[in-house]
Structure 1
Amino acid sequence: MSEILDKAKHWLTATFDSETQKEVQDLLNSNPKDLEDSFYKDMEFGTGGMRGTMGAGTNRINKYTLGRATQGLSNYIIENVTKDQKSVVIAYDCRHNSKKFAKIVADVLSANQIKVYVFEDLRPTPELSFAVRHLNCDAGIVLTASHNPPEYNGYKVYWADGGQIVPPHDSGIINKVNELDFSEINFNANKDLIQEIGKNVDDAFIEASVKNGSLAENIDRKNLKIVFTSLHGTSIVSIPDALAKAGYTDVHIVEEQRTPNGDFPTVKSPNPEEPEALQMATNLANKIGADIVIGTDPDCDRLGVAVRDLDGNMKLMNGNQTMVVMTEFLLKKWKQEGKINGKQFIGSTIVSTELVNNVAANYGVDTKIGLTGFKWIAKMVRDFPELDFIGGGEESFGYMVSDFVRDKDAVTATLLACEVAAYAKQNGSSFYKELLEIYTKNAFYKEHLISITKKGMDGAAQIQKMMSEMRINPLKNIDGEKVKTLSDYQESVEYNLISGENKNIDLPKSNVLIYQTENGTRVAARPSGTEPKIKFYFSVNTSLESIENAKKTEAELDAKIQRIIKEMNLN
């Protein structure tokens, strides 16, 4: 605790402004638990960048942690980019302090003689990724905490290719940040180097989104009834315009959630992965007889899709299901256009459904698998320039169509989901029936995610202990099935628990464990890179003889997942 007190007292020195000093003094006087959580570690880059609770402290999002990160980034750009006029583009979302934080970040960059483009108002994260290459910038920054609770904010860094930073740039930047004392941050802005941007970039982004999110010219878009909710986030500035430009006219916006608001007043969590977040949208869909519901998270990089099931009820697709259907339709389009020649690929991640691999293989297309996070899919695009990237996704409700955006993109993915639904409807099918057809051709895969929250220093230790115990005492059986392999991505080894043979895993090290049984059941565990949580991913599958058996088969798979959860004492 003495080390924490020393760090906190340093924040009472003249390096820090009076407002920050007062906040730290209040913590010292009255709140030892919050003091500990604010200072026990430094804010770190995770799978989605730097994300955390706002407030004073080294483990908080504030003027100084953002300033230090930006000073380190500036130093790295100055040393590694050869252009005379180096440049960075900045976007921000609807969260409290995002606009203020964006200004601080712009000030630091400009103080280091780096040209800065700042969006005039909130914009979606995928537009920031697009803008990096559109404006020929050396890097990009977006101030966002994605779908986290209202008290959070965050900071994501993109490199010149439009993707989030990956090796070697990530460690290079982090090393520069770690070298810095807070007193070395240059906050003295050069106003001449800061330029506001807006409509010109918006128009180019929407045009590219419509071009890449469209399946065919002869789709009856006017006959699809859509309900859309931005969940108080940034997508309201892009998705309605994109839908209109694509030709969708029957679009109904959830008005109570239209206005951007960092408190997210109508939802418990602004996360489209949770059915509760889309309740107002599905209620409206039932009232007006809509075909599809689309909801996006605050920074508009992930989307939730609800469609009518076989009984006509609205059913929220999980991220794996949406990913599989959209991938199937993209592949079908490429095949119809005669563009599949063995030089294409689909992108996925280690905790996403294996069904997408089978779908791609049916078209003779390879699936490349990366670690969790779209920065790894963006890296695939850069690492294989001789191949065409068709699309890619991950289980956490993200999808990326083509490579004009190098991150998950709810704008283009929304258009593609609506294209699938409109095309299916005019051909006597539906989005959900198309999913079931994929299951009958391959297998019925059912996935489920559990997130367990463990806050603070004690929570981090508990998560570490849970992962350690799963390594030391690996599961031998899962729901009566013998475990065949344990893949330890931190050790970069796949252990065959039956034959005793080991294989190297050719991916960067990551704290992830994946068990797989002889029957193809999978259980994965990983600490979240952006929240104080440990996540468990479950995947089970079986054959589906006919669409008529879908409900019964799904119930059996759901029951199997619940048995596994109980067996692992995760209830």
Structure 2
Amino acid sequence: MHIDKQILDKANEWLTPTFDSKTKEEIEKMMTSSPKELEDSFYKNLEFGTGGMRGIMGVGTNRINKYTLGKNTQGLSNYLKKVFAGEALKVAIAYDCRHNSNTLAKVVADVFSANGIQVYLFSDLRPTPELSFAVRHLKCHAGIVLTASHNPPEYNGYKVYWQDGGQLVPPQDSEIIEIIENLQYSDILFEANDSLIEYIDEEIDVAFWNSTIENASFNTPQSAKDALKIVYTSLHGTSIKSIPSVLDLAGYKNVNIVPEQAVPDGNFPTVKSPNPEEPEALTMALALADKIDADIVVGTDPDSDRLGVAVRDLEGNLKLLNGNQTMVIMTAFLLEQWKRADKITGNEFIGSTIVSTPMMLDLASAYGVECKVGLTGFKWIAKFIKDFPKQQFIGGGEESFGYMVGDAVRDKDAVAAILLVCEIATQAKAAGSSLFKELINLSLDYGFYKEHLISITKKGIEGANEIKKMMVDLREHPLKEINGQRVVCIEDYQSSKALDVMSNATYEITIPKSNVLIYYLEDGTKICARPSGTEPKIKFYFSVHTELPSVDDYNATELILDQKITNIIAEMQLT
């Protein structure tokens, strides 16, 4: 196989004395026996996406390793010194259960300390939301968490948080990237100043747990809590360090942990994917719940920012909720609590994203608050909190099984979200209802919304080109009709233009540019295409809705909406 000269040049740079002998040995081996692997390891540099930087661990510029992360950290160190000139700089670092996360976290800590920056490094794995909390609690200038979220075991990642506790957003992200790209690997300072590295653990844990309980508890009677039977799984991840303690401190004593998945393990041996978005991931938890007749199942991804929820449906069977359903249930509950406490003044807001359910807009309107809608990723919701300090943030979520309660944590937070969803389920059960019935009531009030997501994986250079072509085709040859419904509007977030197809008028989109395309049909159907910013995937999001005449019509109406989505997918040839 012919190897491109640019790739060879980049690989040869990694054979210089700047790099250690093990790295050089692996590259030489790839050059002789695995040219395809060499190409994939060096054909590009890892980039920051919607959830930071994620990639396969290994040697090369397109891999997660001590040099790519060291270069990021050196660039971030230089940027912090420039932006906060003269200040005593502080950063916090956390990591998850993945292979090499603890050693890579120490590399990152070493580089910061070598640059004269005070480091607070968690002594063991911790949930991502706790890192966001710690940044503000410790008054740090930035934070790092080593995690690849729900990606397969061979992945790891590097998420950067700013002093507000939210992830990097413009203009900081592009400014830091520019500094990183102008660095040489020989510029990285790897020699640690151990006097600047302080290990943190229980004190921050307790502060985080207490903050979570303060934000996500709502005067639920202890007798009602005692009546709720919960099954919980950490899917081998970090939430085992927080969620059992938080639920216990909040008064939930009937929590049944899936034992086979309770031990942190970067191989995730009991699941194909440690992602609560995937129904298979909660199979063991559902089996335990049926065995003990539990009311609710909750589970988290490895870094504990996403949550999966299953509840009993009208027939008493466990039913997995999607991220949009849990989002509207939690948001409606929070809004109602704020209304009852007479805290809604018209100066509050909830947060959502362009690919999430439109029901969030309906909820905001009904309660007289604003719904701010941003790009995919919680960094944009956190940015709203920072950009609008005079408005109060109530809660917000996105379809990818993430939610944020209040502003103590500025990222999706499965710890607080699970406590909140248990509060809702408990109060509903005590009132003779259920969490599922509360969802149906929302559908009666606001219409029955049903959403669905398809992720198409396309790996490597060829896959990246296929994804690019799919987006080009959707832009240059736009669909005019889908499933018998005319396309009435097309929003292109890459060009910041929207086209009203009926009038042929265009208008500006004020949300920041992103490679996202949304089709709206005349019956209100919404179809979104978006290449993932952190994985080799293109994602298609579908939202359909109709009126729900009565509770008795729920199952039949759901079947109609499911069939509608199936027809759209088939017509767009996405299966």
TM-score clears 0.5? yes
1:463 is aligned to 467
More off after superposition, 509-518 vs 6-15? 6-15
Unaligned runs of 5+ in 2: none
Does 2:557 correspond to 1:544?
Answer: no
Aligned with 1:50 (options 36, 53, 59): 53
Structure 1 distance, partners of 2:218, 2:319, is 24
Work out whether residues 220 and 426 of structure 2, in 8 Å CA contact, stay in contact via their aligned partners in 1.
Answer: no
Does 2:520 correspond to 1:516?
Answer: yes
Q: What does 1:351-370 align with in structure 2 at a 5 Å threshold? A: 351-370=355-374
Work out whether residues 98 and 156 of structure 2, in 8 Å CA contact, stay in contact via their aligned partners in 1.
Answer: yes
User: What secondary structure, in the 3-state scheme, does the structure 1 residue paired with 2:75 have?
Assistant: helix
Return the offset for 1:215: 2.0
Return the offset for 1:33: 1.4
Code of the aligned partner of 2:143: G
- Please provide the CA RMSD for this pair: 0.7
1:482 is aligned to 486
Does 2:281 correspond to 1:273?
Answer: no
Work out whether residues 215 and 330 of structure 1, in 8 Å CA contact, stay in contact via their aligned partners in 2.
Answer: no
1:16 is aligned to 19
Code of the aligned partner of 1:79: K
Does 2:408 correspond to 1:422?
Answer: no
Return the offset for 1:386: 0.6
Structure 2 distance, partners of 1:221, 1:474, is 52
Does 2:116 correspond to 1:113?
Answer: yes
Return the offset for 1:84: 2.8
CA deviations over 1:296-327 (Å, ceiling 9, x no partner): 00000000000001111111100000000000
Structure 1 distance, partners of 2:35, 2:287, is 44
Return the offset for 1:217: 4.1
Return the offset for 1:357: 1.1
Return the offset for 1:83: 4.7
2:225 is aligned to 221
Structure 2 distance, partners of 1:86, 1:451, is 41
2:316 is aligned to 312
Structure 2 distance, partners of 1:185, 1:155, is 17
Work out whether residues 145 and 160 of structure 2, in 8 Å CA contact, stay in contact via their aligned partners in 1.
Answer: yes
Aligned with 1:374 (options 349, 353, 378): 378
1:553 is aligned to 557
Work out whether residues 526 and 544 of structure 2, in 8 Å CA contact, stay in contact via their aligned partners in 1.
Answer: yes
User: What secondary structure, in the 3-state scheme, does the structure 1 residue paired with 2:240 have?
Assistant: helix
User: What secondary structure, in the 3-state scheme, does the structure 2 residue paired with 1:541 have?
Assistant: strand
User: What secondary structure, in the 3-state scheme, does the structure 2 residue paired with 1:4 have?
Assistant: helix
Structure 1 distance, partners of 2:288, 2:272, is 18
Work out whether residues 448 and 547 of structure 2, in 8 Å CA contact, stay in contact via their aligned partners in 1.
Answer: yes
Structure 2 distance, partners of 1:431, 1:274, is 21
Aligned with 1:145 (options 141, 145, 148): 148
Alignment: residue pair count: 571
Return the offset for 1:218: 3.2
2:354 is aligned to 350
Return the offset for 1:195: 0.3
Return the offset for 1:530: 0.6
Work out whether residues 220 and 423 of structure 2, in 8 Å CA contact, stay in contact via their aligned partners in 1.
Answer: no
Q: What does 1:443-458 align with in structure 2 at a 5 Å threshold? A: 443-458=447-462
Structure 1 distance, partners of 2:33, 2:314, is 57
Work out whether residues 448 and 561 of structure 1, in 8 Å CA contact, stay in contact via their aligned partners in 2.
Answer: yes
1:37 is aligned to 40
Code of the aligned partner of 2:208: F
Structure 2 distance, partners of 1:519, 1:200, is 53
1:298 is aligned to 302
Structure 1 distance, partners of 2:37, 2:428, is 53
User: What secondary structure, in the 3-state scheme, does the structure 1 residue paired with 2:519 have?
Assistant: strand
User: What secondary structure, in the 3-state scheme, does the structure 1 residue paired with 2:311 have?
Assistant: strand
Code of the aligned partner of 1:32: P
Aligned with 1:77 (options 59, 70, 80): 80
Structure 1 distance, partners of 2:115, 2:516, is 38
CA deviations over 1:373-408 (Å, ceiling 9, x no partner): 000000000011010000000000000000000000
CA deviations over 1:389-430 (Å, ceiling 9, x no partner): 000000000000000000000000000000010000000110
1:128 is aligned to 131
Code of the aligned partner of 2:409: V
CA deviations over 1:84-140 (Å, ceiling 9, x no partner): 310100000000000000000000000000000000100000000000000000000
Aligned with 1:66 (options 64, 69, 81): 69
Does 2:439 correspond to 1:435?
Answer: yes
Return the offset for 1:69: 0.3
Aligned with 1:239 (options 234, 240, 243): 243
Structure 2 distance, partners of 1:501, 1:84, is 51
Query: TM-score scaled to structure 1, two decimals?
Result: 0.99
Aligned with 1:201 (options 196, 201, 204): 204
Code of the aligned partner of 1:15: T
More off after superposition, 90-99 vs 514-523? 514-523
Return the offset for 1:166: 0.4
User: What secondary structure, in the 3-state scheme, does the structure 2 residue paired with 1:530 have?
Assistant: coil
